[in-house]
Amino acid sequence: MAKYKIAWLPGDGVGVDVMDAARKILNALDIQAEYIHGDIGWEFWCKEGNPLPERTKKLLTETDVALFGAITSKNKEETMKELAPELQNKGLVYTSPIVTMRQQFDLYSCVRPCKAFPRNPLNYKEGIDITVFRENTEGLYAGIEFCPIPEDVRTAIEKNNKKMARFNKFPADEVAMSTRIMTKKGCERIIRKAFEFARANKKPEVTLVEKPNVLRETGGLMLQTMKRVAAEFPEIKWGEGNIDAMCMWLLKNPDRYHVLVAENMFGDIISDLCAQLVGGLGFAYSGNIGDKYAVFEPTHGSAPKYAGQNKVNPLATILAAMMMIEWLGEKSKAARIYAAVSKVVEEGRARTYDMGGTTTTSGMADAVVDAMKRV
């Protein structure tokens, strides 16, 4: 009997290509797993009005972990246009299924390692090693949004905050509002994960990426929580930087940073920046990790123009699969994947188009499988 049940969620576009590549690596390692396909993505929004069908949610409750490829997200207008005619005007709203999975399964830690592989031609600088901890369930991406803003919401806010009067002068349907809502619990658990990681991996410092000088309440809550949790980890330094300044500092002195922690949107932004420092989205992988379940994924999108062309770099997905098996407890097999990827990058014989080469998606997977025999 298989030791693990893994939900296999390729999704849209190049998600399929890169997941096939990752499977080659898992198969070569002889992971005792049963891989169970789950429907997810744009097709299921258009046909069924739900990009994360109930049967897929059920699959997640019946498996140990999930590996996810990529999905197509579009803006509100396009989303409604492509919905099947019989599903129109039923009040259906598209939410990116990765966001839904993070929220519904309480996968509150988004962990994004950004470590430069030696001699990657795409490195911004050698030696960069930053891990981003992004809060994954709250903040500006919590989905508390209005347009038009209901009358009772408008008046309630004005009653408690006179600054709202400025916006209430406009007609309701000419104002849109997305709120940034955060809890003490939400702030605390992501910050704690960042410090625990720093302790376990002997990292000298954790840096909070926020903007408490402007976002006084939510940013302030994050900062207060940071100070409180940091006190429990006296051997680890803590620092803070505003999101805007951090974009600059990370370019100026990327090797000065080790572990970053941020709320949802700031973590989204800063993790793309950090990804670019170590090779771009072809190398960016992440774990969406809760207390009981986790979904691992490459951070890139579905790149529809390259779908099915066997062209994109599968390393991000291969590394996501590595992170997944490490989370399952297969530490030595995970280490072999890392060492093999490192070797392939360093040797430089196999390079996908983003790295300036002509190696295909499957060719890159074959190169990693081959390197696994040599590490």
For 295, the enclosing helix (H) or strand (E) is: strand 294-298
Give the binding-site size for ligand IPM (rule: CB under 6 A): 6
Which C-beta is closer to ligand IPM: that of 38 or that of 41?
41
**DSSP classification of residue 25:** H
Residue with tokens 């499977």: 23
Q: Which amino acid is at 61?
A: T
135 binds, among Mg ion, ligand IPM, none (CB under 5 to 8 A by kind): none
Beta strand 129-135 with 109-115 is antiparallel
98 binds, among ligand IPM, Mg ion, none (CB under 5 to 8 A by kind): ligand IPM
Contacts of 49 (CB under 8 A, 6+ apart): 83, 84, 87, 90, 92
Give the binding-site size for Mg ion (rule: CB under 5 A): 1
- Written as six digits, the tokens of 187 are 């702030």
Exposed / middle / buried, residue 77 (Cβ in 10 Å: 0-12, 13-18, 19+): exposed
Give dist(CA 296, CA 325) in Å, integer: 10
260 binds, among ligand IPM, Mg ion, none (CB under 5 to 8 A by kind): none
Please identify the residue of the shown chain whose CB is closest to the bound ligand IPM.
Answer: 96
**Residue 242: Cβ within 10 Å count:** 19
> Does the protein bind ligand IPM through residue 73 (CB under 6 A)?
yes
To Mg ion, the closest distance from the beta carbon of 140 in angstroms equals 13
> Does the protein bind ligand IPM through residue 303 (CB under 6 A)?
no
Among 138, 240, 263, 268, binds ligand IPM (CB under 6 A): 268
According to CB under 6 A, which residues from 87 to 146 bind ligand IPM?
96, 98-99
To ligand IPM, the closest distance from the beta carbon of 36 in angstroms equals 23
99 binds, among Mg ion, ligand IPM, none (CB under 5 to 8 A by kind): ligand IPM
To ligand IPM, the closest distance from the beta carbon of 296 in angstroms equals 12
According to CB under 5 A, which residues from 218 to 277 bind Mg ion?
268
Which C-beta is closer to Mg ion: that of 112 or that of 154?
112
To ligand IPM, the closest distance from the beta carbon of 361 in angstroms equals 20
For 273, the enclosing helix (H) or strand (E) is: helix 264-277
To ligand IPM, the closest distance from the beta carbon of 198 in angstroms equals 22
Q: What are phi and psi of 332, to 5 degrees?
A: -75, -35
To Mg ion, the closest distance from the beta carbon of 158 in angstroms equals 34
Give dist(CA 254, CA 240) in Å, integer: 15
To Mg ion, the closest distance from the beta carbon of 275 in angstroms equals 9
Give dist(CA 246, CA 138) in Å, integer: 21
Mapped onto helix, strand or coil, the DSSP state of residue 207 is strand
For 17, the enclosing helix (H) or strand (E) is: helix 15-29
Which C-beta is closer to Mg ion: that of 64 or that of 268?
268
Beta strand 65-70 with 4-11 is parallel
> Does the protein bind ligand IPM through residue 299 (CB under 6 A)?
yes
- Which residues of this chain interact with ligand IPM, rule CB under 6 A? 73, 96, 98-99, 268, 299
Q: Give the residues lining the site for Mg ion (CB under 5 A).
A: 268
